[in-house]
Amino acid sequence: MSQLELVPQNVPQHVVSTEMITETSVSETVIDVPQRNLTQESFANKPHKVTIKRVMPVYTSLSYDRADRYWEVIISNPAFKNLATNESQIMKAVGGYAIDTSIIKRNVVASLLPNYVDISDFENFQDEDGWKYKVNKRRAFDDYISLRWCNQKQNFYQPLVIRYKKNGTKKPITQNLCPYCPYTKGMDLNTIFHGVDDSSYMHHVCKDHGVYTTGNEMPIPVFGKTAKGLVAVCGICGNTCNLSVDVHADNLNNCLISYFRHCFDKHKNKRQNRDANEIKREAQEIKANRHNLILENLIVSKV
């Protein structure tokens, strides 16, 4: 069963209201449940609001030097260069102009950089609070996530590590480790593991890291400035999404939240739309390139 199929029927993916990264690591997300999905009579005449807690990533531990080097890798890849060639024209079309992306690069990279955490990081936590940690067998190639936004073909969604614990007589609670959020020793593990059954992992990886449940990345946007301020322009529909960058803040925040949400809401990426031969070819390509991809990752990760 895919992650997508685990989405509860009554909590649609497209109605989560806007929220911003706050000083704290946890923010409230309000989900509007449309009337058509309601079965209880009492909810028939007004929208019902369910409040869930969504853990927001904190990027305090990310090295600026590492982020800067990773940005160099991104901007040297052909896909990014192609976009850059057309950015003035694209920005003009939306009434804006291109910018020097170095002012936002760290806030962009913050959400894309893999954390390189694997099962060995959790050996000392086995059975703590009832959690058992294990390797995710559904990951086709149980190794590190490749570099994002570098035209690499890989499943960027599947976690490397999952944990589960008994839940009385019900089915065990399962959580996935985010492959991107920074991990530091001694941190609260609840901030990097996200529930599968309540769709927390799906919402987190899609909207905080820009990856569809199919494993595909959301496309690289064009960055620029309009009367609204700094924006990311969607390459699919031309919509402008605000970039939340506080250049004076001490900590990095992910500036792509509203762009990722836009892609999530408007440009669904479903595996069933893809050709079976294409998927097979991709899998073979990944297998053939895997060694090089990992080497490339490690070069950047050792910065």
Interface pattern 150-189 for Zn ion (x via CB under 5 A): ----------------------------x-xx--------
Hey, what are 178's tokens?
């985010």
Query: Left (φ > 0), alpha (ψ -120 to 50) or beta: where does 75 sit?
Result: alpha
What's the burial of 140, exposed, middle or buried (CB within 10 Å: 0-12/13-18/19+)?
Answer: middle
Candidates 239, 253, 258, 297; binder of Zn ion (CB under 5 A) is 239
Q: Confirm if 188 and 56 have CB atoms less than 8 A apart.
A: no
Candidates 69-77, 98-106, 258-266, 271-279: pick the segment binding Zn ion (CB under 5 A).
Answer: 258-266
Round to whole Å and give the CA distance between 89 and 91. Answer: 5
Beta bridge partners of residue 50, listed in sequence order: 31
CB 244 to Zn ion: min, Å:
17
Q: Confirm if 214 and 145 have CB atoms less than 8 A apart.
A: no
Round to whole Å and give the CA distance between 94 and 90. Answer: 7
Site for Zn ion in 40-59 (CB under 5 A): 57
Nearer to Zn ion, 133 or 193 (CB): 193
Site for Zn ion in 56-95 (CB under 5 A): 57
69 contacts: CB under 8 Å, gap ≥ 6: 300, 303
Angle between helices 257-266 and 200-209 (to 10 degrees): 120
Nearer to Zn ion, 150 or 218 (CB): 218
Candidates 26, 44, 135, 237; binder of Zn ion (CB under 5 A) is 237
Candidates 236, 279, 299, 303; binder of Zn ion (CB under 5 A) is 236
Round to whole Å and give the CA distance between 198 and 216. Answer: 22
* Residue 211 interacting with Zn ion (CB under 5 A): no
283 HSE (CA, 13 A, CB side): 9
Site for Zn ion in 266-285 (CB under 5 A): 266
Interface pattern 105-144 for Zn ion (x via CB under 5 A): ----------------------------------------
Count the residues of the shown chain that bind Zn ion, applying the rule CB under 5 A: 9
Hey, what are 57's tokens?
């990533």
* Residue 222 interacting with Zn ion (CB under 5 A): no
Which residues of the shown chain bind Zn ion in the complex (CB under 5 A)? Answer: 57, 178, 180-181, 234, 236-237, 239, 266
